[in-house]
Chains A and B, each alone.
Chain A
Amino acid sequence: DSGVTQTPKHLITATGQRVTLRCSPRSGDLSVYWYQQSLDQGLQFLIQYYNGEERAKGNILERFSAQQFPDLHSELNLSSLELGDSALYFCASSVSGLADYEQYFGPGTRLTVT
């Protein structure tokens, strides 16, 4: 158990809908990262927040957005969903926002868009 929690574990929704994925980092970790894992794209970095502020952006679509709240939990919002958005979404956390601190991954949320 990494100490990172993600809810829900599974989500099934229809195209065009909007969903929110939630992540609670390990106690004491200030940085939260979001990743998308799909069969065709592999594991892709989406976005990082550090202590409430956006720190880095990766291959995140404009239909996706995220935020980190004062209690440091984070939410990833996916809107106008398409079939291709079906994937496993991971949240990770680290103490710092720098790459020299290892990231601890949550169990993921499996999103299925039908």
Chain B
Amino acid sequence: AQSVTQPDIHITVSEGASLELRCNYSYGATPYLFWYVQSPGQGLQLLLKYFSGDTLVQGIKGFEAEFKRSQSSFNLRKPSVHWSDAAEYFCAVGPTNDYKLSFGAGTTVTVRA
């Protein structure tokens, strides 16, 4: 069975600084990988996804993620954080032969002025 680990529970970053959120997955093959964001009181919104091909994936809101097979990682990055990026971020993995997404525990991002 697949699993996802987000090692950082909470990250605080200054507005304008760069952000990197870590995600490690466990799966026997290359899974489908996703990053979702959840703003306070809102549902989850898909930021980006990786299925195959180019390992650097561009998403919405200026986010990108890089798939590294050797490290079983799919880290999310943003070069310059805005106050509106304060939210909870979830990494998810979906096996290619199954229907269920498994989510990490989430990383809460706080943006300070």
Contacts and interface: CB of A to CB of B under 8 A. Distances in A.
Given A90-B44, A99-B95, A105-B43, A48 B100 contact: yes
Interface residues of B, number: 24
A98 B99 contact: yes
Interface residues of A, number: 26
Contact of B96 (A2, A42, A43, A100): A100
Interface in A48-87: 48, 50, 55-56, 58
> Counting chain A CB atoms within 10 Å of each CB, which of B42, B44, B90, B104 scores highest?
B44
B99 A48 contact: yes
Contacts of B103: 42-45
Contact of B46 (A55, A58, A102): A102
B105 interface: yes
Contacts, number: 57
Contacts of A99: 31-32, 94-96, 98-101
Contacts of B34: 102
Contacts of B104: 42
A110 to B, nearest CB: 9
18 contacts: A2-B43, A33-B101, A42-B103, A42-B106, A43-B90, A44-B103, A48-B99, A98-B99, A99-B32, A99-B96, A99-B99, A99-B100, A100-B94, A104-B46, A106-B43, A107-B42, A107-B43, A108-B43
Interface of B: 31-32, 34, 36, 42-46, 49, 51, 90, 94-96, 98-106
